[in-house]
Amino acid sequence: MQEKVYLSLLFDFYGELLKSHNKQIFEDYILNDLSLGEIAEEQGISRQGVYDIVKRCSKNLTEFEEKLGLLHKFRTTRQMAEEIHSLAMNIKESHREEAEEAVERILTLSQNMIDAL
């Protein structure tokens, strides 16, 4: 996965845990696609200072995910929901035997989602 996309997802889940100043700089760099120089000028700090804050925030967000795993849980739950949707669509269009297998799989997936939450 592209690093900026991954970091923006981590920011969606954990951004509120960052210090306000660091959060704004990270948001400008990752989400608003401003350059280090543009942010440095706007914030009145050096380009290296902006770079250090972005790297520190990236590290912090990655550590939050390693400890809490919210993004991983979200992705897993989304995959299960997509499979449930697909199975339900197949039931609409299938024969009885295939429908019974799909219902069993839906029950298993939905229980896994319930257990994960």
Backbone angles phi, psi at 64, to 5 degrees: -60, -45
pLDDT 10s digits, 28-38: 999 999 999 99
Here the tokens at position 1 are: 């996965």
Q: Is the pTM of this model over 0.85?
A: no
Residue 107 has pLDDT above 90, yes or no: no
Residue 65: Cβ-neighbour burial (10 angstroms; 0-12, 13-18, 19+): middle
Backbone CA torsion sign across 75, 76, 78, 82 = positive
pLDDT 10s digits, 15-66: 999 999 999 999 999 999 999 999 999 999 999 999 999 999 999 999 999 9
Closest-CA residue to 35 (of 20, 51, 21, 24): 51
DSSP 44: T
